Amino acid sequence: MPHPYETQRMGENGPLLLQDFHLIDLLSHFDRERIPERVVHAKGSGAHGVYKTTHSLSDLCLADMFEEGKECPITVRFSTVGGESGSHDCARDPRGFSVKFKTDEGNWDLVANNTPVFFLRDPAKFPHFIHTQKRDPSTHLTHADDSTAFWDYLSQNPESVHQVMILMGDRGIPDGFRFMHGYLGHTVKLVNKKGEWVYCQFHMISQQGTKFLTQEESTTKSPDYAQKDLYNAIESGDLPQWSLEVQTMSAREAEDLWEKQKINVFDLTHVWPHKQFPLRKVGELTLNENAKNYFAEIEQVAFNPAHMVPGIEPSADPVLQSRLFSYPDAHRHRVGVNYQQLPVNAPRINYRMANFQRDGSMAFCNQGSRPNYISSIEPIRFRERTVNLDQVHGNFAGDAVTFLSEIREEDFAAPRALWEKVFDAKAKERFVGNVSGHMANCKDKEIIRRQIAIFREVSGDLASRLEKATGVKGYDGIANLSFNGTHNGMAKGGKAPANGMKSTRVSRCEGNGAPVGGCHGKVDGVNEHANGTNGVAAH
């Protein structure tokens, strides 16, 4: 492989190609690395409840669940990301926030985090990144005692800085699961009954407000602090609630957002400006029932981003597309090939389900004597097609390309806004203390110098404070640096290729994977935005 982070896509902004054996092999092996706990999100808590649509979304989405007044049962699992099943609830770590909506049309799994962005935008980086959050293969220490690998990865992948600003800031340790928001992060498509589609971001806004713990406060809490808080609140009748809200934009707006503001809706490290794309409330989630058996109802619950009901469709975001494969593959390995038959994962629908999957471990619902092929002996009925996939996703025509993103100036705009406009004086002090305290366990000063250079692109003030706190002088910026995992688009004299590659050229387009008119190849003219916009999205 010329570069282990490259992925094959249909054009620079098209979907991933299944023929990319390197990516499939990487993800398949990664999904099977831990037995039996989850590779990520191993430590978790959960409960059951109900979702109700309070404000119809039928103008944008044909899903039955979004008609005003509709209700469905839900199962929610909160989690930390990097730690093991016995790790501390108050670790400085993103939090998982996954919801299984058991609608009349089947299950919709909203697999989210408590941060609106993530550390990466190239899907093949994910296993690499998670490895740096786990125990060192030699010392078997976590980054609580040796943070070298943690900062080494971040210092080699500057696009992670937006998430680092959030992680090391006040939102890095929420005060229990009840007091945090949830974000899908990826962009999906909503399709209405007319076949029209828009891009969408889902948000779950805590009705309890948000609260956080400082680094010092976190050391005073018990290992299962968040689990205990959630369980006791529900038992006492203090039922936690979240509002389900959406941001939406048209395909043309997605193109304009890149052309005018260099915000890439395919990019998991970027967010949509709320002033331009305001939140719209759709419904409410309420947790009202604790699990009777944690293992059966929470440990075995399996969320799959590919589980979508008609009216919700994936976009061409490469990280989302890789998750569509990786999550169910991990469940088949961890829980078993028939994980969807478990009561906590099975849909609640008013008809008998028929498919052509049979046997395998724990096949306790094997559909009797019904033929396991499309047969005239015992015919089944098929659902009427409600979504024209040709219209929603278009017909991509283009070269197969090996795509690796590059770091650009706009990658530092949102982190800079956090530092200059969101963090107050005390929050800035806590951030510098959190980062420098964690860096104290990094054995390689060169890594710290590189990371301070990345922070200098965010703010010279931030870099100076970190230099004083760590006693390490960082580089002046990233213009003279090269990175293992990303082309440096801010290098002097042109792009600096990643990892010593001879060329940064991956396709004819220069949009860093963003939706740009004319870079999509030939697309069916199925709606007003079709020529060059179909299939272009995701956070």
Is 88 noted as a catalytic residue in this protein? no
pLDDT tens string 42-65 = 899 999 999 999 999 999 999 999
Residue 179 contacts residue 209 (beta carbons within 8 Å): yes
Per-residue pLDDT at 504:
65
Per-residue pLDDT at 109:
98
| Residue in 3, 13, 41, 114 annotated catalytic | 41
Write down the mean pLDDT value for the chain: 91
pLDDT surpassing 70 at residue 372? yes
Side-chain-side CA neighbours of 28 within 13 Å: the count stands at 7
pLDDT tens string 182-215 = 999 999 999 999 999 999 999 999 999 999 999 9
35 pLDDT band, cuts 50/70/90, is low
525 pLDDT band, cuts 50/70/90, is very low
Q: What value does the mean pLDDT take over residues 407-430?
A: 96
**CA distance linking residue 537 with residue 162, whole number of Å:** 19
Helix (H, G, I), strand (E, B) or coil at 1: coil
**CA distance linking residue 155 with residue 447, whole number of Å:** 6
Q: Give this prediction's pTM.
A: 0.89
**CA distance linking residue 302 with residue 330, whole number of Å:** 9
Of 228-232, 328-332, 532-536, highest mean pLDDT: 228-232
Is 41 noted as a catalytic residue in this protein? yes
Q: What value does the mean pLDDT take over residues 381-408?
A: 86
Q: Which helix (H) or strand (E) holds 47?
A: strand 44-53
Burial bucket for residue 271 (CB in 10 Å: 0-12, 13-18, 19+): buried
530 pLDDT band, cuts 50/70/90, is very low
pLDDT surpassing 70 at residue 226? yes
pLDDT surpassing 70 at residue 143? yes
**CA distance linking residue 172 with residue 92, whole number of Å:** 5
Task: Name which of 94, 97, 90, 113 is nearest 224 in CA terms.
Answer: 90
Name the residue with higher pLDDT: 353 or 238: 238
Query: What domains sit in the chain, N to C, each tagged with a CATH number?
Result: 44-118+174-341 (2.40.180.10)
Q: Does the annotation place 327 within a ligand binding site? A: yes
Per-residue pLDDT at 390:
87
Q: What value does the mean pLDDT take over residues 339-346?
A: 94
pLDDT surpassing 90 at residue 385? no
| Residue in 13, 107, 113, 157 annotated catalytic | 113
pLDDT tens string 319-329 = 999 999 999 99
Q: Which stretches of 200-245 are DSSP H helices?
A: 215-218, 225-235
Q: How large a percentage of the chain has pLDDT more than 90?
A: 73
